[in-house]
Structure 1
Amino acid sequence: MADYHTVEKRIKLWTPLWKSKSLPRCKELLWRACNDVLPVRAALAHRGIVEDAICPLCGEECETVNHAFFACTEVAPIWFSSPLSLDFRNVPPSFSLKQWLSQVLKEGDEWFIDSVLTLLWAIWERRNRWCFDQQWYPYDFVLRRAASMATVSLLAMDNEATRTDQLRDGRRDRWRAPQPGTIKINVDAAVPAGSVMGYGYIARNSLGQVLATAASKWPMATSVALAEAMALRWALQLSLELGFFNVEVELDSKLVIDSWRNHQQQASYLALVISDSVFISQSFYRFSIAHVLRASNMAADFLAKFALSSYCFVGIEEYPVGLETVLSSYLVSS
């Protein structure tokens, strides 16, 4: 029978896991792995179910949980090439999945936790595809698979954050003009199921007049949050090139805004992209950045989707057909 301290430790580990916003299948996999009920070859050999405990992927070492998820030479490069950029090429024998997971759940933000859990699930899925179907998938398949699952979770997080902000401030459901002398920049990313994503950009003055619009298409990022962060970096660079030095920037990803505030405490590719944007922002004379509701960012959203279905462009005081309807519907004078 477990003593009080053992039960308390379990509660401290599992409660944050079950409360996380990752998909249930990812959380269940981690629970099974940490409780030694995952059918890795070492566990099956110990129970006499199989004779060979060698890893089916690398064929070199005993397949334990740590090996299957981290130390395998066919798995470690996935972690290093992912947006997390974690190096597991030399996992020490003392490495504990439970302790590491506990640290991730305690110190990681929502994006980091979700990225870890979805990548673990995708790694296990790849292993099973090879074991049971003899289908071999490259590293980028695992990254795309994890990104597709993370997209579902992150969209849920963004929607929940949007609803919370709407309750706090009912006035933020429409675009509002900036103060005279300031240019308001709205930016968004469109992340469909596919190999490319779109960026949308619009700059307006205190009268609501359109000074510039842009739409651009880029290779797909590995998460929605990363796509939004890369769109922000692109928008800041474009603003400087267009000569806009007093700006207010708005976007509808609360995750990116939260990462902007805490990027120095994070170790991820997302944090690196945010750090680039923070550095670029220092070139403006006056700069501010804020999260707004999706309804306030419809013009940028239109342009991001336009990039996917049409052509890329940068327009000075001009914009594609169809955007005028969006502008007239959402403009509210300050």
Structure 2
Amino acid sequence: MACSTNGSNSTVQDRIFHAEAAPACKELVWLACNEELEVRSLLFAKGNVENDTCPCCGKYSETTMHALMQCEEAKCIWFGSPLGLRVELLHDITTVSEWIGECASFMDKKVLGMVCVIMWAVWEKRNVWVEQRKKLDFPEVMAKAHSMFFSDEWILPSYPHVKANFSASVKDSVGTAMGVVFRDFAGVPQACATNLMEKQCFEEGIASLYSHWNEVIRGKVNSDGFFLDSLLEDCKTMIRRTKSCLRLVGCGGNKVARFIASEAFVYGERVWTEEVMDEATQYVIADVLGPLSLEYSDFDSDSFHDF
């Protein structure tokens, strides 16, 4: 069953995948819309489990709608979330497909992104219980949801922190170009840098890299499983010592770093202190003035990788 309420299947899919959420969240929502999540009712129908009872509440058949929306534990998460959703008031909604179709018809990409990350976090809570017999409390679930949400606008860091945005761009037969910019709580550039490597080093997609990073943070991987493991371990040590955090960001929230990365093909390895390159100034100003002051569609989004 595909999402089709209040619009075509393709329209709903397009809105889901433009929502401000990590790719894993949007993929899960789309699977849920198409009844492809491995809930107990589906596994039972295939003969893979002995019963279809929800592993969380132990009372009802675990359909997709029950697991993600109607289970009492799921209801508590939706109501306690920033959306404050009372699932029991959705009298006319019987499937996740219908619910997401309704959401896609009137929500902007920020709010729809919040729906996606909360739904992902509900499913993650369920899986942690099934696989580890560990119950995540509400703050833990919300922390997981927050880590998967990203704004499509650049946001100032809080005082007295400095935010580092970085991006990489890959060109066939040329190499991998990288750009980074550091800005303080007033949005003033502290430094920026470019680097160009002839070898195309991004062998994994950015979503896969970010997922692996989260596994490293949780101590669930060894040092032999990934070609960037040693670098990620160094990042983990640095972040722990500086009390920093790492987040995925949307292309609109990473305009400066994306532009600097594109210029790395020209500048090679170079550092600017207390400023950015002249060509990037307009993007710095746009971040401070707001998202309407500059369109960022000039960049080839398929070739960029952002943090």
Tell me the TM-score normalised to structure 1 length: 0.45
Greater CA radius of gyration, 1 or 2?
Answer: 1
Q: Relative to total residues, which structure has the larger helix share, 1 or 2?
A: 1
